[in-house]
Amino acid sequence: MMIELLDYGPGQPDGLIPGAGTLTKIIEAMGQEEASYITLQVFLTFAGAGGTTIDVYLQTSLDNGQSWWDVIHLGVLAATVEKAASIRKYIAQSAPARLAAVDGTLALDTVYDGFFGQTWRIKYVIVGTYAADNTFRTNIFVEKLRS
């Protein structure tokens, strides 16, 4: 199942790329209880003006949003790019699990595999102001267990 989260750009449903700042969006339709893996996909079409970076974090919560854990961090610079990364549910951790939640601090282009909470969100950290002719889109793909 694909969930289109945000689609910024001229004439797009979510309007132009917002100015610098941090935005979050709860993902309502994840169905994570049946999910076997989740893929985050980001696209930036850079028309050559404005902006510096957009960092995108897929985050999960074990306590209904009181604290957040980064599981994927993808960053895009001021260039046209498409990136994707996936996490899998049934992965044994090779090192001890994190002892505290990390919100927006996972290293760039990193995945923390096998960590699924009950609530999910996307966090965007936008640096700089992107010109009106740039476009940015994020999608989530959820693959459910097969019976």
pLDDT band at 147 (very low <50, low <70, confident <90, very high): low
What percent of the chain is modeled with pLDDT above 90? 29
* Average pLDDT in the chain: 83
pLDDT by residue (tens digit) across 34-91? 677 889 999 988 887 778 889 999 999 988 899 999 999 999 887 889 999 998 887 7
Strand partners, 38: 87, 142
d(CA 21, CA 40): 21
User: What is the average per-residue pLDDT within 107-132?
Assistant: 89
Domain count, the chain: 1
Written as six digits, the tokens of 109 are: 């282009």
| Domain span at 42 | 2-144
User: What is the average per-residue pLDDT within 104-132?
Assistant: 89
d(CA 10, CA 137): 12
- Position 98 scores a pLDDT of 61
Backbone angles phi, psi at 19, to 5 degrees: -70, 180
- What CATH number did the domain enclosing 105 receive? 2.60.120
CA angle 57, 72, 32 (to 5 degrees): 95
* pLDDT over 80 (residue 12): no
